[in-house]
Structure 1
Amino acid sequence: MRRSAVMGWWRQADQFDWFSVYLHDRGLQLQWRLATFAFTALLGALPLMMLGSPLGPDNTMTRSIAIVAAVCVFGAALLWLIRWPTRRQSLVYNVVCSASTAATCLVVSSPYAGLMGCTIFAAIGGFLAYFHVIAHVIGNFVLALVCATITASELIIDTGDAALTIASVLTVVAINFGVPFGIHTLVHTLRIDLRNSDRDPLTGLLNRRSVYNAVHEIAVAQQGSASVRLNITMIDLDEFKKLNDTRGHAVGDEALADVGAVLRENCSGDAVMGRLGGEEFVIADSEPAPEHAKTVERIRAGIAATPFQITASLGTCSVNVEPGTAMKHPEFVDRLLHVADAAMYRSKRAGGDRIQYAHLDQVSAE
């Protein structure tokens, strides 16, 4: 049980897309960009300031390394001033900041100053904890420990003060452990709570607002070095009003809950499933065409097999998304839902209990 809990913690999803959308929807991305730019610019100023200190770099090579580190960090800061980065750019930003911090800590002539400089890794780790997976947080933590070990060894050799060295190392370890891992736990819990608050209480599926965010996330997350397929399926129950009128709304609610169960039983684990309102449902996934066709057919048959004598009209929209595509939120999702909705109404006009397919032209980078 403990092992499975640890594995689940290790495999927790990257927060970048979810948190980026969350900040975008609340108009907070600009504030985050400016704050990150300011922090990074201050980080870049540190090695330059140490050039004027007797405790700073004391030879040509270490001074050159400090200057290169500062230039790299200032370059990383400019990214946040220009735009909100992609996931890959965010990871590169963190690598640059971590490497530059390590270089700055190791080139100063005072091992105590270098050891105390290792506390800066906590801020970088905190950023990683907000946006990225735990493996990246641990990687940053390990780099901080390596730098702390090297500078602590130099400190005890220079001063012979074991108490000061141990206290300094404990300070560095405590800050680098407590800040990033505390943030990671908090953000992961917040994500779960926010997702649960955005669920339809009757079916347990996502509600309309959460569907938009989740579909955008799955589209962005699936982007890589090759084109990916995104499928949106709209589902509308046939003659549902008749069921409510003849058997009552309580039975209608039971039918809606059963439809939600049919979706969960037949969709893949990474599919987005939502109830948009009334008797209208939506699914988003990235399955290849043959598997997607089998999934929607199982859903159609599963709904028809419920004990409420109802059927459903389904319409799907599939699109190939090229790497680097700029997908404006929520316009991109709106377009897909509109095409899938039109296909669903074709199914309904044809008599219901059937599936209509549509395919958008290939979406490429702007």
Structure 2
Amino acid sequence: MVGSARRWWQQADQFDWFSAYIRDRGLQTQWRIVTVAFAASLMAVPVVLIASPTGPDHPLTIAVSVLASLCGAASGSLWLIRWPTRRQSVLFTVGACAAIAATCLSQSDPYATLMGCTTFAIIGGFVAYFHTAGLVAAIFGTSVVCATVGMVRLIASTGDLALATSAFVIVLALNLGVPFGIYTLAHALRSDLRSSGHDPLTGLLNRGAFYQSAHELVMQHPGGRDVHLVVALIDLDDFKSLNDTQGHAVGDEALVGVGAALRESCLTTAVIGRIGGEEFVVAELGIAAAPAVMAEKIRKAVADIPFPITASIGTASAPLTGAGTADFDFVDRLVRTADAAMYDAKRAGGDRVSHRSELVLGDQVHQGPGR
């Protein structure tokens, strides 16, 4: 029980994965529109309530309401230009949460304060899709503090304990049920999609899952001039001949063996996929000299499996610096470059490694010993 709770609490955020998921389905524009609309509504409410008898009635609380409105406008503006980064999304969350809290606490009517706390469920639901359980819990805690202030004030002003308690329970139920329900559902969806994103024969990632996982690998690393994303495209030599002479069952066994060889020869953090019949791809983080080292290990591992096949391997790498690495086509560019390098190796006779730089397409061909 404690172990499960700890694993749940320590789960990584889903920002990069969910961003890629909705981008691949053409939904980012709709998400941005809805988010901007929510932020605009949040911006308008504190100003509108200034004119209400139940709204802020002191120069200080009026000033707080105006500041909350400006904070909501600043937070929403992050989504006007482009899809935000993880850090910008967190800033949006913090700004929106602060604006909601300030608006609720500045109301002169304590019942308005309590009912305003239901708004935390909306921003909490947004966070549940993209960020960690800790941030969801922080928003819930903020809602509890604000709702408690409203409940105490309502009891003090009306003496109606039943009304104050009922309103408090409604606020807690919404702020607990909506965000944590979405959080659980989003993580279950991610687990199911990851399971469906595997090649049934080798257990490696399929094409779509590979690109998504490789993009997450890039976005989760802080980057630096000495850190490169290295991509290797592996195509098996003479695989058709193996199928024709020994049958497809043996060919399938060979593919399973190649998958196992890739797992054993690559880093545990590497993203490995099967993207075609006898084509495989690997993405891992390394230094500038890593492509040749990684690819040679893969070439030897494939050559050592008990089947008469070798591999032509093309590699490409680029440093994780600059805004371009955050683009969704960054991995795709490297895969295309590695694919071109793989054909260089195949034209040179196979059982070779060829490297092309993503930035400077100079070729370097490294020949492995023949078998």
Q: TM-score, normalised by structure 1?
A: 0.91
Q: Which residue of 1 aligns with 2:352?
A: 354
- What SS is found at the alignment partner of 1:56? coil
**1:208-227 per-position Cα deviation (integer Å, ceiling 9, x unaligned):** 23323333333333345777
Q: Which residue of 2 aligns with 1:152?
A: 151
CA contact (8 A) 1:222 1:228 kept: no
Q: 1:130 to 1:225 in 2, by over 3 A?
A: farther
Q: Which residue of 1 aligns with 2:73?
A: 74
Matched, 1:340 2:338: yes
Mapped partners of 2:225, 2:100: distance in 1: 34
Residue identity in the other structure for 1:115: L
**1:294-319 per-position Cα deviation (integer Å, ceiling 9, x unaligned):** 54443323222222232222221110
CA contact (8 A) 2:234 2:314 kept: yes
Mapped partners of 1:226, 1:139: distance in 2: 35
Q: 1:150 to 1:63 in 2, by over 3 A?
A: same
Task: Please report how far the alpha carbon of residue 27 of structure 1 lies from its aligned counterpart in structure 2 after TM superposition.
Answer: 1.6
Task: Please report how far the alpha carbon of residue 170 of structure 1 lies from its aligned counterpart in structure 2 after TM superposition.
Answer: 1.4
Please identify, of 347-356 and 108-117, the stretch whose mean Cα deviation from structure 2 is larger: 347-356
CA contact (8 A) 1:225 1:323 kept: no
Matched, 1:214 2:213: yes
Mapped partners of 2:14, 2:291: distance in 1: 27
Mapped partners of 1:290, 1:225: distance in 2: 15
Matched, 1:303 2:302: yes
Mapped partners of 2:100, 2:72: distance in 1: 9
Residue identity in the other structure for 2:209: S
Q: 1:303 to 1:226 in 2, by over 3 A?
A: closer
Q: Which residue of 2 aligns with 1:5?
A: 4
Question: Unmatched 5+ residue regions in structure 1?
Answer: none
Task: Please report how far the alpha carbon of residue 93 of structure 1 lies from its aligned counterpart in structure 2 after TM superposition.
Answer: 0.6
Mapped partners of 2:223, 2:35: distance in 1: 26
Residue identity in the other structure for 2:177: G
CA contact (8 A) 2:230 2:290 kept: no
Q: Which residue of 1 aligns with 2:28?
A: 29
Mapped partners of 2:293, 2:251: distance in 1: 27
**1:188-231 per-position Cα deviation (integer Å, ceiling 9, x unaligned):** 11122223223222112222233233333333333457774211
Please identify, of 56-65 and 320-329, the stretch whose mean Cα deviation from structure 2 is larger: 320-329
Task: Please report how far the alpha carbon of residue 75 of structure 1 lies from its aligned counterpart in structure 2 after TM superposition.
Answer: 2.4
Mapped partners of 1:315, 1:57: distance in 2: 66
CA contact (8 A) 2:226 2:287 kept: no
Mapped partners of 2:3, 2:217: distance in 1: 25
Q: Which residue of 2 aligns with 1:121?
A: 120
- What SS is found at the alignment partner of 2:275? strand
Q: 1:56 to 1:302 in 2, by over 3 A?
A: same
CA contact (8 A) 2:202 2:256 kept: yes
Query: 1:39-118, aligned counterparts within 5 Å?
Result: 39-118=38-117
CA contact (8 A) 1:232 1:282 kept: yes
Mapped partners of 1:113, 1:310: distance in 2: 73
Task: Please report how far the alpha carbon of residue 94 of structure 1 lies from its aligned counterpart in structure 2 after TM superposition.
Answer: 0.7
Q: Which residue of 1 aligns with 2:276?
A: 277
Q: Which residue of 1 aligns with 2:139?
A: 140
Residue identity in the other structure for 1:120: T
**1:151-177 per-position Cα deviation (integer Å, ceiling 9, x unaligned):** 222222222322222222211111111
Q: 1:227 to 1:110 in 2, by over 3 A?
A: farther
Task: Please report how far the alpha carbon of residue 326 of structure 1 lies from its aligned counterpart in structure 2 after TM superposition.
Answer: 6.2
**1:104-127 per-position Cα deviation (integer Å, ceiling 9, x unaligned):** 111111222112211111100100
Residue identity in the other structure for 2:14: Q
Q: Which residue of 2 aligns with 1:233?
A: 232
Q: 1:284 to 1:149 in 2, by over 3 A?
A: same
Mapped partners of 1:214, 1:101: distance in 2: 35
Residue identity in the other structure for 1:198: G
Task: Please report how far the alpha carbon of residue 290 of structure 1 lies from its aligned counterpart in structure 2 after TM superposition.
Answer: 5.8
**1:6-36 per-position Cα deviation (integer Å, ceiling 9, x unaligned):** 3332232321122222222222111111111
Q: TM-score, normalised by structure 2?
A: 0.90
Query: 1:143-292, aligned counterparts within 5 Å?
Result: 143-223=142-222, 228-289=227-288
> How many aligned positions are there?
360
Question: Unmatched 5+ residue regions in structure 2?
Answer: 361-371
- What SS is found at the alignment partner of 2:121? helix
**Alignment root-mean-square deviation, CA:** 2.2
